[in-house]
Structure formats: structure tokens, C-alpha cells
Amino acid sequence: MKPRARRSPHARYTPAGQDGIGHLELTRPEKLNATDDDSVDDLDRAATRAARDRKARAIIVRGLGRAFCTGIDLSALAGDRLGA
């Protein structure tokens, strides 16, 4: 079995500082933050970290780049259906 290549996470959480504001970012701007299986897993992990952040009074959710999120990544969905 071939090991999976390491990749950058598609979502990340920056814990709240003294201002009490945490930041959850979608980090796939080259795909307009469209979601695929990996990004959904990463978003789940980031959201779990955010939920456990006791210092956070508010959490800002944003997408890097020119779009917040364009929805599902259709190219990834097509690849799944084609067995790619």
C-alpha cells in the first residue's frame, strides 16, 4: 500500500488570544475553498478545536482568497464516481 502524501490542511483554527476571538479559516483558495472529503475532515478537526477553546467568546469563520466557499468540489466528486 502506497503511503498518502502529506498535504496542507484545508481548514485551521487559531485559538483566541486576549481579545477572546478565535479564527477558523478555510485554506483552499486555489479551489475557492470548495469542499472535498479531506477538507470536510479538516473542518471537523478545526471546529472541534474551536469548540474546546475556553478562551473564545466569539469565533470568526472566513475563507482565504476571493471566495468564502463555493460548495462541493465537483472535480473531486467526479473523480470519486469515475474511480480516479
> What is the per-residue pLDDT across 4-31, written as a single tens digit (0 to 9) for each?
667 789 999 999 999 999 999 999 999 9
CA distance 70 to 66: 10
Selected from 3.30.420.40, 3.40.630.30, 3.90.226.10, 2.60.260.20, the CATH number assigned to the domain covering 11-82 reads: 3.90.226.10
Average pLDDT, the chain: 90
Tens of pLDDT, residues 35-48: 999 999 999 999 99
CB-based contact 24:63 (threshold 8 Å): no
Please give the single-letter amino acid code of residue 81.
R
Domain locations in the chain? 11-82
**What is the number of helices (H) and of strands (E) in the chain?**
2, 3
- pTM value is 0.80
